[in-house]
Amino acid sequence: MDEASLQIHTPPDRYSFIYIIFLIHGIATLLPWNVFINAKSYFISYKLGKSYIGFDFPYVGNFMQILTFCSQVPNVIFNWFNIFMPIKGDLTVRIMWSIVINILLFIMTVVLAMVDSSAWPYEFFYITMASVVILSMSNGVYQNTVYGMAAKLPPKYTGAVILGNNISGTFTTIICIAFEYVSTSKRMAAIWYFITALFVLLIGFDTYFALPLNRFYRHYDIKHKKQQEQRINQENVTGSPPYFKIFKQVWPQLYNVFLVFFVTLSVFPSIQSDIKVSDSGFLITDDFLYTQILCFFTFNIFAMIGSILPSFFIWPSKKYLWIPLTLRLLYIPFYLFCNYQPEKITRILPVVITNDYVYWVVAATMAITSGYFSALAMMYTPSTVDSQYASIAGMFAGAALISGIFAGILISFLWPWLIGHIGW
């Protein structure tokens, strides 16, 4: 009787409970990525720094590119594979094990921060990168499942996941800065930083189990299951889901999803984390604070604001979204002409943007457009197909998101070479 009532009447999302849960999972899905990229100084200045290991470690110059590459290769493979050959098993099992694996790897990361690895820096580097690869694999399953679950619900719940992604970055930047200045050493700062991330993952683990108990979520879950049954019955007659048909309907939005993340990841964090202060009289001259605030904090806080904006207004329509997203490609040359000084590279390309305030303002616009347009594109994608195919469209969007990130990371390997070989 209760199930029949749920099918007929749509219960309210009381106190935005389900919205908050998807917000938390949005935070948790990007937490491993944000934690590692914000810990750049811990890796290159401490664990792999010359003062700690006694020599110049060869991979310090392109550490961020290697880290981001290792973190995204498995994610790309898993996301696309899961669309056409879905990973079987109960959603509870999939999310539970993916979070448990993340927790275990963060425990290992804390242990590595505690031990003296100065005598084996290469082993430390390879262990770290291997753990990043495994984290990415488990997170690929986790993220894809979360987007598929959100696609069952009204579009704003996909927006909640995107908002959570951006809050995740802001949160990790704040705790990174806080522990850096309240801890007695980089070692202790890293230990408390990684432990805090563990607690957030545990919160994500706990909140998942509240979903099946909520009437609002169960209403849409039952509705989605019925649509799935209809689709399965149709597939028994016509074959597998019409992936090509779905792709044709959603590809303009997939282009939008891909492009927004491609542009963002081609400059953040690879270029931005190596932009140095140009004016000695600027508000912030400390290298660590300059990077943390103008790169990580500015990006994350404004991307978070951008992801909230679709709740108040939506512009442009899905038909014209590609225009502002294509124009965002102009951010790439702008950042290259800033005071971008990667490790162990002698810059030949002239620095044109020497005003730190101009860089800061443009960095804020890049971030806010990233958050706003990514939320818009991810919300538009499931609405371009029949409701029974919304979850597949949501997974296509998740895969396009990861592919855009991966492509942006790949092209970022070119930037250090470019500024060191091209000039006038």
Peptide bond into 269 cis (omega under 30): yes
> Which residues, other chains included, contact 398 with Cβ-Cβ below 8 Å and sequence gap of 6+?
79, 143, 144, 147, 148
| Per-residue exposure over 246-285, b if at least 16 CB sit within 10 Å of its own CB, e if not | beebbebbbbbbbbbbbbbbbbbbbbbbbbebeeeeeeee
pLDDT of residue 1: 44
- Residue 171: give its domain's CATH number: 1.20.1250.20
DSSP state of 87: P
- Distance, CA of 96 to CA of 141 (rounded, Å): 11
pLDDT of residue 5: 60
- Specify the residue for token string 């539970």: 96
> For the CA atoms of 185, 187, 193, 195, what is the dihedral angle to 10 degrees?
-130
Read off φ and ψ for residue 318, nearest 5 degrees. Answer: -60, -25
Tokens representing residue 417 in the block: 């070479």
Number of neighbours of residue 180 by Cβ within 10 angstroms: 18
- Distance, CA of 338 to CA of 363 (rounded, Å): 11
pLDDT tens-digit map of 372-413 = 999 899 888 888 888 778 878 887 887 888 889 889 989 999
The parent domain of residue 50 ranges over 13-421
In a domain, 6, yes or no: no
Contact 299/363 with Cβ under 8 angstroms? yes
- Distance, CA of 99 to CA of 203 (rounded, Å): 10
Residue ranges, the chain, pLDDT below 50: 1
Distance of CA 329 to the CA centre of its chain: 19
Task: Write the DSSP assignment of 318-344 as a string of letters.
Answer: TTTTHHHHHHGGGHHHHHHTS-B--TT
> Which residues, other chains included, contact 223 with Cβ-Cβ below 8 Å and sequence gap of 6+?
7, 152
- Distance, CA of 163 to CA of 262 (rounded, Å): 18
In a domain, 364, yes or no: yes
Contact 160/26 with Cβ under 8 angstroms? yes
> Which residues, other chains included, contact 207 with Cβ-Cβ below 8 Å and sequence gap of 6+?
21, 24, 25
DSSP state of 279: -
Q: What is the pTM of this model?
A: 0.78
Contact 358/289 with Cβ under 8 angstroms? no
In total, how many domains does the chain have? 1
In a domain, 195, yes or no: yes
DSSP state of 355: -
Tokens representing residue 215 in the block: 């009437």
Neighbour-count burial of 112, counting CB atoms closer than 10 A to its CB (0-12 exposed, 13-18 middle, 19+ buried): middle
Tokens representing residue 258 in the block: 């891909």
For CA atoms 331, 334, 338, 343, the dihedral sign is positive
pLDDT of residue 45: 86
In a domain, 3, yes or no: no
Number of neighbours of residue 209 by Cβ within 10 angstroms: 11
- Distance, CA of 348 to CA of 39 (rounded, Å): 29
Q: Pick the closest to residue 389 from 248, 251, 246 (CA basis).
A: 246
> Which residues, other chains included, contact 177 with Cβ-Cβ below 8 Å and sequence gap of 6+?
289, 292, 293, 297
- Distance, CA of 30 to CA of 170 (rounded, Å): 11
In a domain, 1, yes or no: no
- Specify the residue for token string 């056409």: 84
pLDDT of residue 184: 78
Contact 302/367 with Cβ under 8 angstroms? yes
Neighbour-count burial of 133, counting CB atoms closer than 10 A to its CB (0-12 exposed, 13-18 middle, 19+ buried): middle
